[in-house]
Amino acid sequence: MSPLRNRPVLKMNGAGNKILVLDLRGSGLVVSPAEARAIGAGEGLGYDQLMVLHDADAPGVDAAMKIFNIDGSLSRACGNGTRCVAWALSRDGRDRVVLDSDAGRLEVARAGAWAFTADMGAPRPGWREIPLARAQADMDAVDIAYPGHAEIGRPSAVSMGNPHAIWFVDNVEGYDLATNGPLLERDPLFPERANISLAQVVAPDRIRLKVWERGAGLTLACGTAACATLVAAARRGLAGRKATLMLPGGELVIEWRARDDHVLMTGPVEFEAEIPLHPALFEGLPA
């Protein structure tokens, strides 16, 4: 039987992005992909990302994070989940937490009772960093077309610790992302798959965004996609270096800071429930 049985998880959301936080610090336990899938299949436990906390290896770091998508795959970054983790760790009154992730070190500061600002680090613009399968002459017009809609041109590609492709369109609801998202996510151009976004620039400081998340599907919000979209829009001259990103689940304020190239994401968190992991979730899995 899995040693995860009966351990509590926090059910949360960040701008609608469904998040579970599982704190395993001090236990030495790890989560397998099969266990991550089993948790997500539990009643009331469906998630976009599962944030698993482990003991940090470095002084001054509050926790190390492993991030699972609902299909059991790993993600190196999740901005909305990172804010939820910050809330969970700040219940002792602190206003700042430091986290280690597979995408690097992240600092998160309180921006309100239920809001946090996460420093997501610098974008990774190179084709090898994203990664793409082959070199590109222009990272704002990479070699892939949106199925059936050649008129919207080619997307920008950016990594915010995970790969993103962003098409700028006149109306995010005018193109079938539910059908085309899974096809584009797994296009051979993306050896590690990719997050697929449609972005509509409403004003230089307001962008509407719809996202198909790698390993999760259509989501109400995706923090790293919002960060990648602001970077791509600024590179193209479509927006300034700070804008409000409007997603189906809520709004995120993104700033691409000129002095150090870091991307800051400010947005809300919401706590929904604390739920123990029922032993039946793990029946049939290796002990």
Q: In whole angstroms, give the CA distance from residue 65 to residue 62.
A: 10
Task: Inform me whether the pLDDT recorded for 285 exceeds 90.
Answer: no
25 pLDDT above the threshold of 90:
yes
Range 8-119+270-282: architecture per CATH: Roll (3.10)
- The yes-or-no verdict on residue 147 having pLDDT over 90 is yes
pLDDT, tens only, 30-59:
999 999 999 999 999 999 999 999 999 999
pLDDT at 107: 96
| pLDDT value of position 31 | 97
Q: Give 243-272 pLDDT, tens digit per residue.
A: 999 999 999 999 999 999 999 999 999 999
Statement: residue 286 has pLDDT above 80: no
Residues 232-249, mean pLDDT to the nearest whole number: 97
Count of beta carbons in the 10 Å neighbourhood of residue 257: 13
Rounded to whole angstroms, the Cα distance separating 170 from 238 reads 13
Identical fold at 8-119+270-282 and 150-261?
yes
Tens of pLDDT, residues 102-139: 989 999 999 999 999 999 999 999 999 999 999 999 99
- Picking from 222, 187, 165, 220, the residue whose alpha carbon sits closest to that of residue 16 is 220
Question: 């809330």: which residue's tokens?
Answer: 87
Supply the pTM of this predicted model.
Answer: 0.93
How many C-beta neighbours within 10 Å does residue 248 have? 15
CB contact at 8 A, 269 and 12? yes
pLDDT at 287: 66
Mean pLDDT of 86-92: 94
| pLDDT at residue 284 tops 90 | no
Contacts of 17 (CB under 8 A, 6+ apart): 48, 49, 78, 80, 81, 219, 220, 221, 222, 223, 249
**Residue-averaged pLDDT of the chain:** 96
Tell which residue, 42, 48, 43, has the closest CA to residue 73. Answer: 48
Catalogue the active-site residues.
Answer: 78, 222
Domain map (residue ranges) of the chain:
8-119+270-282, 150-261
Q: What are the residue ranges of helices labelled H in 90-222?
A: 177-185
Work out the percent of the chain whose per-residue pLDDT is above 70: 99
C-alpha 240/C-alpha 234 separation (Å) is 5
The CATH number corresponding to 150-261 among 1.20.200.10, 3.10.310.10, 3.40.640.10, 1.10.3720.10 equals 3.10.310.10
